Each structure stands twice: as structure tokens, then as C-alpha cells.
Structure 1
Amino acid sequence: MSSPAGESPSTGGRPITLGLGANLAQFSLLVAVNALVGGMVGQEQTVLPLLAEREFGLTGYTFLFTYVVAFGATKAAANYFAGTWSDRFGRKPVLVVGWLIAVPVPLLLIWAPSWGWVVAANVLLGLNQGLTWSTTVIMKIDLVGPKQRGLAMGLNEAAGYGAVALTSLLAGYLAAHYGLRPAPFLLGLSYAALGLGLSGLLVRETRDHARLEAAKHVGRADGRHDHLHADLSTRQILTHTSFREPALSSASQAGLVNNLNFGLSWGLFPLLFATSGLAVDQIGVLFALYPAVWGIGQLLTGGLSDRWGRKHLITAGMLTQATALAIIAVADTFALWAAAAMLLGAGTAMVYPTLLAVIGDVAHPAWRGRAVGVYRVWRDAGYAVGALMAGIVADLWGLRAAVWLAAALSATSGLVVATRMYETHTRRTANPGRPR
């Protein structure tokens, strides 16, 4: 059925319109939901490394980081299924299932009699994060259409990682004043209940928005995406996103290295900071600075990528992360670590929403959900890779050696983007008078 430009009637009678302004209420609700998703991670980050040492007596770094590996591996797998299922069954059912899985996580952490319970909780947390975060990303891209992807991803990721920072800070405060359990994890229990209620009762399905965009889709003026047509198989989507398509695959490797840094920081930074005798609440502040600058910075960088383009922002962000990690590796004071943590957050803010915007630029609307899922498989595998790498290197050569290795990998990743990725934002590459 035809409709005015940019609109189509939905099955429920509401007109479907692409754009942030036209979908502001639902978009804002999804921003709030994703903040709750991020808060589920923040409840753990300051507390679990300390819990491992003080209550469970874990001293080997590799064994201590098993909870990060469990989280990263299951989140990576859940991302793939979130993309596939959201294209097949719709976005909202996947979101609701993800929140149902979240409910037992804080309870397991509160009652855990052994470290195995903590690992089990992080398996569930990884499933929750993969299903819910991937789905909110896909839904926001659906709603805004092609013109404001960078801004949309900046707002999405700012909400999620801002909540990681705030909850990490709150959890550190609660742990310092009321003990490591149960107080910090009561935050997560409230987030899970609220997220499930909002998603089940108020969030609306957005798959018809993607169908409307697909019906109006026009390829790039330079013909670069002509081979990325609507009817690619899932195997072809996996291959292009992982290896063959230069922009998609460059984004995938940069995402993996970016989250490798986060996985390393999650398990290793609290222990490194503790070597200088910092108190728990000081460690909480340092750990919160990284995602706080990351989260707030994305409010700026997402929109900037819509104006300036994607490639150079990603390259600069990876090199900035490399510089920050090098400073962390040599520092031994609160002030210098704080400055480096903020620099690391700034570099991550330049990269994080921009990589997701690249996927939205290149992937056809008909299979964009699956492409987002594959990209997030690679990106979130970085949690597990970073934790394993940090644990092994720290056991063999010390905490600082692991940070130096992450710095070298970040610099290499930035150079790969600089040499292999092309500019994907059509406003920067195509005739402005030609529709996409």
C-alpha cells in the first residue's frame, strides 16, 4: 500500500515514519531501557574482582578472570541470535526474553557460596546483555532511518555506558559502606524488574520501520554496495561482515580490540590500582571515570560522525586508546591514572557509536539486524579475549605487561582501519542530490 513520502500505515493503524523527531517517545523509552541494560553490568565491575580475592580467596589472575570470559563468550553468542531472531520474529520478543534472563543474575551474586555461582551468573548476564543491548541498537536504527544513525548510536551507547559508570560508582560506595554483599547487587535486581516491565508493557515493535526503509532503499552513487543486495543468505552476511567487505570487516576487528580493552580493564584495573594502596571507593572512582567519559563523550561523537564521516574518527579513537593504555601502564598515582582513564574513555567514545553507524550505513535494511548481530559477536568476543589475554600475560609477566600489550593491539587496529576502511557515510561520499 502506498503512502506519503517517509510514511506507511502500520498494522495497528499508526502511521510509520522514519526519523528521530517523529519517533521521539519510543526512541527515548529505548534509551532509558538501554541505560538499565548498562546498569546490569555496572553492578559488578568494581565489586567482583574484590569479591574474588577477599571472599573466595582467588589469587591467580587467569582463574579470577573466568567470570569475564564467561560473560564475553555468552554475550557474543547471544548477539548473533539477537540479530537473527529480531529479523525473523521481531525485535520486541527478543528484548523481553533478554530481560527475563536478567532477573536471576543479582540473586545468584548475592547468594553465591562458591565462585562457580558467580561464573553461572555471568553466563546469564552475557545472554541478557547480548539479547537486550543488540535489540535496542537495532530498534533505534530502525526508528531514525539513514540520516541520523551516528546520533542515534551516540545516544544509545551514552545511555548504556553512562549507566555502567554511575552504577559502578554507586556499587563501590555501597560496598565500601555496607560490605561487598548484598547491597551493590540490589541495584541490579531493581534494574532487571524495571527493564522487564518497561519492555513488556510500553516498548513497541519496530520491524515495520526497517521494512519501510528497505522499500525505499537506493544504493550508493558510486555503486560500491551493489553486491550487498536485499536477498543475501545468512552465510553471506556472516562472511561479508567478518572478512570480505572492507568497511564491515574493518569495523568488526576494531570492535573486537575496543572491547578487548574493556575486558582487560574490567578484570585487571582494580587490581592494578590496588597495588598502590588505593581504597575501594578510590578504585570505584577510577573505574567509573573510563565509562563516564566514554558515555558522555558519545553524545558528541555520534552526531559528529554524521557530519565529519566515520573512518577518521574511528582511526583517531583507536590511537587515542593506545596512548591512554601506555600511560596507565607506567603510572602509579591516582591523579595520573584518573587522567589516563578519561583519555581512554574519550578514545572509546570516538569509536563506539561510529562503528555501529558504519554497520548501519553498509548493511541493507532487509538484513541489518543480522549484520549488527555478527558485528557484535566479534566486538563482544573482545571481552573474553581481553580477559584471557590479561590473565595469562599478568600471570607470566605482571599486570603492567598486559596493559602494554593492549596498547600495542589498539595502535595496530587503528592502522588497519586507516588503510582498509573506506568512508561509509553517504553525505561524505555521494552526490547530495541523489537519494540513498
Structure 2
Amino acid sequence: MLKFLMLNLVMMSFVKSWSTIQMSMLAASFLVLMNLNHDFYFFNLGGGLGVDGLSYVLVALSVWVVMLMIYASQGVKKLKNFYPEFLFMNLLLMLVLLLTFCSVSYLMFYISFESALIPMLVLILGWGYQPERIQAGIYMLFYTLFASLPLLVSLLSLYGAQSSLSMLLPLKGGSGLLATKGLWYFCTVFAFMVKLPMYLFHLWLPKAHVEAPVAGSMILAGVLLKLGGYGLIRVLSVFPNENKMFSWFWLSVGVLGGLIVSVMCLRQVDMKSLIAYSSVAHMGLVLGGLATSSLWGWTGAVVIMIGHGLCSSGLFCLANVVYERLGSRSLLIGKGLLNFMPSLGVWWFLLAVGNIAAPPTLNLLGEISLIMSLVSWDKAMMVSVGLLSFFSAVYTLYMYSLSQHGTYLNSLYSCCSGKLSEYFVLLMHSAPLNVIFLKGSMFLSG
């Protein structure tokens, strides 16, 4: 089925009809979801490709988010802003993501992992909003390339030591002095920490989000940030002793960095900037869960990655709807949206509740697992995790109340409340976020 999907992507890249690609992507996304319940481990696809339960869930998320990207980017078609090239870049990005999640070799995974940067850079530079998009693209390029070269050297060294880079074989970290093994470990995981992104190396993310078009923001928050978590899951098993030795460092940076970023969210007046910083806070919690190397931590990290991919992508879509109406993303200008866009108020509420990780959203399931793993690792983490959860609710309610309530500007009164395509995109974000919670046993079963 995945072979058929990849072949379908190649064929769709030559089609220039927007509606044809929309319907094809919708059919493909539902086709992928139909097989989501299958329990398999590294099902062989041939050509160095394979898929297990973890990679298939992220493949389904990739197809789903790219489908919603195309539906949310109607403005590109309306303005005739090189939309055949725009569709081609979206499909190319999805093909690269599928190759990344289905790679069985670490080297092929690295090549696909880095190749995802090129379509994303073209989307930001070609269809971004402001002249600062060039600076944002350069930030993203240099941050990720700076961290990726040590990973390549580490993988080549691993191949020299083990004569294999297959994920199907148990690989062991380097032998020799402790300092050398620690250096090897940091060179391997650093590229994924930057892509996650880890606090202190996250400055490229808000810039990329603010300058990217709505499709770029949706795929960046929905899938590309998950590449870092997926890569960590794949490589941390190679260095079990080193990960146990430095877990305190990743836990500290992840949880305390997320707490600092949560406070920074309260100072943001740009909607997209606030949502982007909130992604850094959520991914800090994911980093902490992965560093514990426990079943609760890894399961919660995967569930949070899926839930955050849907929730954050939907919030960026809502921010774009407001930007198309008002011509500004400022929370100071876009006040009182309930007065002249009342039908979108329920979607703001549902996605804000998902960002807080309130029931019955999928994020709640993930946060319970992560909190259990962090508190089990050290009871002193209760204070930091409690503050992180508290500030997560504070900045989300700050965004919701400031945007929905208050006195609106008189010049904004004559606005279209919402379009059918926008309601469809928001429904396709919030429905899985609340429905998959009912099938949480699928994620929590070993």
C-alpha cells in the first residue's frame, strides 16, 4: 500500500490541476488511516525501505497534514502565485518525509532527513510573507546544517566499527575511552536536538514560522519537528550507557528550557510567534520523556508528537484565517474576534483546549505518560513539570482570551466569518485529536 502511495505521489507531481490533487490526497490520507490498526514490525517494502508501528503512525500524520496544507492554501491558487510549483514542492516534501520514516538504513535516513530541508526552504523563500523570509531561511539552513555534519561523521565512524548501518541489526556505540564515546554520542544526537528543537538552539524555529506561508507553518509544526524525536528514538538505542549517563542534562534542558520558553510566550503579541514558542515548550517535554529511556516516556513522547502535530497545525491554520481577514497577526489588533467571526470561536476553543492537554484530547494521554516517566525518574521533577503544565495553560488562555474577547476595531466589522474549506480543514484537525484518544490503548500497548 505504501509503494502504491509513493508511486501515486510521483504521478501526482506531474498533474497541475489543484482540485485533482486535492481529491487524490484526501483519498490517499484515508487509505493510510485504514491500515493504522495493523500491528507489524519492520514490514519489508524492498529497496532499503521498511515500516514498523512507529514509522507508520508518522507516515499517516505526514500524509494527513500535507493533505490539509493543500486545502488550507487556497489563497495561492486564487492569486495564481505559481501554484503548480507550489503543489510540486508540497508533494516533493511529502515524498521525502515518507522516505525518511520508511528508511531501514541509518545512512538513507540521514540523506532523507537532510533532504527535507530543501523543499521547506523553497516554500519559505518562494511563498513567504515578508522580506525577512530570506533571513529566516538562512537561520534555518545554517542551524540545521551546522548540526548535521557531525551526525554524518558519526554514522560513517559507526559503519567503520560495525560494518553495517541497518536499523534491523543491534548496533553498539564506539569502544575506547569514555571521553571518545561521550563525544561520539553528542555528535550523533546533536542534529536531532536542533531539529526537535532543543532550548538554546531553537531561535531558527520562530523566525521560520513567522515568515513561512500557512502550508510551511503547518508542515513545520505538524511533521518536521517530529523528525527530531523520531531520529532520537532510532539512535538512542545505539548508545544506552551514554544516554543513561547524560540523561540528567537532557532532562534539565528540556523541562527547564520549556519552562523559560513558556514564560516568553506571555510576552508575544504575534499569533504565529506565540504558537511557535509553545511548540518549543511542548518539544522540551518530549525531550525529557525520551531521555528517561522508559516505556512510559517513549510512549508519551510519541503520543505528544502526534497530538501536537494536529493541534499546532490547526492553530497555525486559524492564525492564517485571521491574517487573511485583518492583514495582521497582532493580538493587539485582532481583538474581539467573537464579535464578527463567531462561527470560528468554537474551533479556537477546541484547539486551545488541545494545546492545554485537557480531556478528551490526545495530548492529555501523552502528558499523563510523560509526567509519570519524569516523576518516576526523580520526584523533584514534580515542581518543574507542574510549573510547565501551569504556564502551558496560562499562555494558551492568554492567546484565546486576548484574541476572542475585547473591543474590536470598527474598521474590521465587515469581515467574512468563515469559508467551507476552512471549516473542513479545522474539522480534520480537531476530529482526530479528540477521537484517537478513545483508542489510546493502541499507543499504550507495548
Instruction: Give the TM bin, normalised by the shorter chain.
Output: 0.3 to 0.5
- Tell which has more relative contact order, 1 or 2 (C-alpha 8 A, sep 6+): 1
Give the TM-score normalised by structure 2: 0.36
